[in-house]
Amino acid sequence: MKKFLRKNAWDQEGTFNNPDLYWYAKAVAEMQSRKLDDPTSWWFFAAIHGENFAGDPDGIDWNTIKAPPKVPTSPFPSKDIKDKYWNQCQHQTWYFSPWHRGYLMALEIQIRAIVIELNGPDDWALPYWNYFGGEKENKIPPAFTRPFLDRDTPNPLFVTERHGPDNDGNIYIKLFKDGKPRVTQNCELKTVYTGNQNCFGGPETDFSHYGTIFPEESLETNPHNFVHNDVGGVVKGNEGLMSDPNAAALDPIFYLHHCNIDRMWASWNAKGNKNPSEKKWLGGPKEIGEREFVMPLPDGKEWTYTPNDVTNLDLLDYSYDDLKTKVEPAAADTTSERLRKLGIPVSDDAQLTESTMDNNEKPTELVAANQGSFEIKNAVTKTTVNFSDKGLKKVSTSLLRASADEIPDRIYLVLENVKGNINANTLEVSVNNQHIGFISLFGLRNASLDDSHGGGNGLSFSLDITNIIDELHLENDLENLKSLDVAITPDNEILSDVKITVGRISVYREKQ
């Protein structure tokens, strides 16, 4: 089997001197010249991920997108074709990585076929945008920002509706905010694929076009969601294409972003980490009688696939020129390090269960909550989370009994039922004036609709606050603790017509 090599889009300074980008642009132009109902068109492929012609009234209506690109409004494919192919993307689910891998492979096959027709290289492969690649590579490659490809030929990679993380048209990934890590590769430190908390690949679900749970630092949570919103942004109520899941694949940078996400999955596997072995994951939603994953091919045929078909990169027709992912050592959070901080002797050769085991099987218990829902404002929004006496005693007892044989609880702050009419905002969360993390709201609007996968319950986000609780214990302040002060600050402006609410903020203990 011939292998195609995916390379860094920033080769040749990310310009059209990079032949991968040049031929990508030529082929995208050809796909954009085809009709909406043509399964090989740019528009049809974008609709496979998600579309909005007559769905969410608050979303980006494809009929109103400011050119370029000039999005066609007709002709529509038949209902049977739409039901088979459109609106397939998998989010907030353990199917996120395999579905998108198949989607990228299908797009790559379409693009390569066109490149060959245009007398381009027959070994063309999709490049990836590694925004963690060092100085300047967190910026969008210049090939995507110039309006013209050459002289009077419009650049098909240029998109008007990209606003950037600061909503000023400067397109880059904001890796840090005030010195605090914001967009990270910490998902690469996870050792288990599936879970509701510390995991790489997301929670176990059925077919999930849009789900409800974002495990902290999973691949989809960070960096995936942050990159979408940093590119898309929002200006005067208009979200950029990348900020809306139902428009994101119209932007050509989408596929280079997801190519990097796919590379990170391959990197995680290359480190020795294992994908799920459950029949339900390997066989995909079709295994339980739900919708199957299917892609159109250039010859008019179709490809139906399962996660098992795309799990092993060695058995696929492509590879990457570099699978290295750099993760800061400080991001590691092992059980041994935690016990040493708590003053518990641990030998260097101790075999301890790490804190990143499968959380689907770990019991959790609510120990604190605030008094109810509230709205997020542009200024800092504050609330108080009150502990129950019983819950606090259990947390305290767990720490007092801590040993190498009895690992203390991990503690999570959970923002439950976050709802809103926009996706493009990012929030910073602090507890007792200590920063604990950032949250990207990508996918929020869809999850807030009554007919969504979660029934309009919005999204829930968990943030690990174990370190804060451990510090209170070491300072002898835990037993007298009655509450935690939580502050939420928007990282980018919340516009006047935007409403974002939090149903409840709670604290859960997770027994180890």
**pLDDT for 286-338, tens place per residue?**
999 999 999 999 999 999 999 999 999 999 999 999 999 987 655 555 788 88
Higher pLDDT, residue 61 or 98: 98
Q: How confident is the model at residue 240 (pLDDT cuts 50, 70, 90)?
A: very high
Instruction: List pLDDT tens digits, range 169-182.
Output: 999 999 999 999 99
Give me the CATH topology for the region 333-510. Answer: Jelly Rolls (2.60.120)
Give the whole-angstrom CA distance, residue 214 versus residue 195.
10
How would you classify the pairing of strands 504-510 and 410-420?
antiparallel
Residue 348 pLDDT greater than 80, yes or no? no
DSSP codes, 177-238:
ETTEE-S--GGGG---SB-SSS-SSB---SS-SS-SEE-TT-TIIIIIIHHHHHHH-EETTE
User: 4-320 has which CATH code?
Assistant: 1.10.1280.10
| CB contact burial 408-444 (16+ within 10 A = b; e otherwise) | bbbbbbbbbbbbbbbbbbbbbbbbeeebbbbbbbbbb
Residue with tokens 């009688």: 289
Number of helices and strands in the chain (H, E): 12, 21
CB-based contact 92:205 (threshold 8 Å): yes
Give the whole-angstrom CA distance, residue 96 versus residue 325.
20
Residue with tokens 């074709």: 81
For the chain, the structural domain boundaries read 4-320, 333-510
| CB contact burial 219-245 (16+ within 10 A = b; e otherwise) | bbbbbbbbbbbbbbbbbeebbbbbbbb
To which H or E segment does residue 465 belong?
none
The CA-atom distances, in angstroms, between 219 and each of 150, 266, 463 are 37, 12, 15
Choice among 16-20, 208-212, 262-266 with the minimum mean pLDDT: 208-212
Cβ partners under 8 Å of residue 299, min gap 6: none
Which of 140, 337, 147 minimizes the C-alpha distance to 230? 140
Cis peptide upstream of residue 147 (ω within 30 degrees of 0): no
Residue 506 pLDDT greater than 50, yes or no? yes
Higher pLDDT, residue 258 or 210: 258
Q: How confident is the model at residue 63 (pLDDT cuts 50, 70, 90)?
A: confident
For position 357, what pLDDT does the model report?
36
Mean pLDDT of the chain, nearest integer: 92
3-state secondary structure of 46: helix
Choice among 27-36, 112-121, 321-330, 449-458 with the minimum mean pLDDT: 449-458
Confidence (pTM): 0.95
Cis peptide upstream of residue 68 (ω within 30 degrees of 0): yes
Q: How confident is the model at residue 458 (pLDDT cuts 50, 70, 90)?
A: very high
Which of 212, 209, 225 minimizes the C-alpha distance to 285? 209
For position 213, what pLDDT does the model report?
79
Give the whole-angstrom CA distance, residue 447 versus residue 209.
10
Choice among 102-106, 236-240, 328-332 with the minimum mean pLDDT: 328-332
Give the whole-angstrom CA distance, residue 107 versus residue 102.
9
Give the whole-angstrom CA distance, residue 183 versus residue 222.
6
Instruction: List pLDDT tens digits, range 241-259.
Output: 999 999 999 999 999 999 9
